[in-house]
Amino acid sequence: MNRDKIKSIIESLLFLWGDSVSFKDIKKTLDLEDEVLKEILEEMKREYEEDSRGIRLVETKGSYQLSTKPENYEFIKEFVEEKNKKNISRPSLETLSIIAYKQPVTKIEIEDLRGVNCDSTIKALMDLNLIEISGILDRIGHPKLYKTTDYFLKKFGIKDLSELPNLEEFDQFENIE
């Protein structure tokens, strides 16, 4: 496999996962020698440093993650604030419902249920303080667990999760023709 293909695979893995991925997990997935993988990751870091790129490859404690460039923060902040002023979108409501009923839940579990990538939706829900990270699983990739916040309860006018509608009630409505 050539270096460009390896870089493409690494980029896809990091983009899909969203969170940091350990060197060990990348190595295991690609079955590469340590030195070769280190060289490729360093090349990727240098390539992302170009002014024309909006993301960067960040290394923290032996793990790697794609991140937006700090110099673009003001534009990103303005965009996110403008988007958050609007009502919660249907995809956000779907994601929020999954988290509310299945919490604590990982991003991968949410995406399995929704069938689409949920990175931006989860970020938006966190920015709105409707969900938060409740822990990290001790398995490959160390996925974050998400749960609803106290603000979620206030926003939806319920005192605790037991007041959420029963899922069986929804099934009855779907069967009515």
Residue 105 included in any domain: yes
CATH code of residue 123: 1.10.10.10
Phi, psi of 4 (to 5 degrees): -65, -40
Same domain, 29 and 65: yes
Strand partners, 147: 132
Helix 107-114 with 90-102: angle, nearest 10 deg: 120
* Contact (Cβ atoms closer than 8 angstroms) between residue 145 and residue 106: yes
Would you put residue 157 in left (φ > 0), alpha (ψ -120 to 50) or beta? left
What pLDDT does residue 86 have?
59
Q: Given this model, what pLDDT does residue 84 score?
A: 59
Q: Are residues 20 and 55 in the same domain?
A: yes
Question: Average pLDDT for consecutive 10-residue bins of the chain (177 residues)?
Answer: 95 90 95 96 95 92 91 85 70 92 94 91 91 93 93 85 76 49
- Domain count across the chain: 2
pLDDT score recorded for residue 80: 73
Secondary structure class of 90 (helix, strand, coil): helix
The pLDDT assigned to 22 comes to 94
The pLDDT, as a whole number, for residue 155 is: 82
Does residue 61 share a domain with residue 136?
A: no
Q: Give whole-number Cα distances, 86 to 63, 80, 124, 152, in Å.
A: 35, 10, 11, 17
pLDDT of residue 176: 46
pLDDT at res. 145? 96
Query: Which of 26, 46, 71 is the last residue before a domain boundary?
Result: 71
Q: Are residues 101 and 171 in the same domain?
A: yes
> For residue 177, what pLDDT is reported?
43
Task: Provide the residue range defining the domain that includes 157.
Answer: 87-175
- Other C-beta atoms closer than 10 Å to the C-beta of 98 total 19
Q: In the numeric block, which tokens belong to residue 140?
A: 């490959």
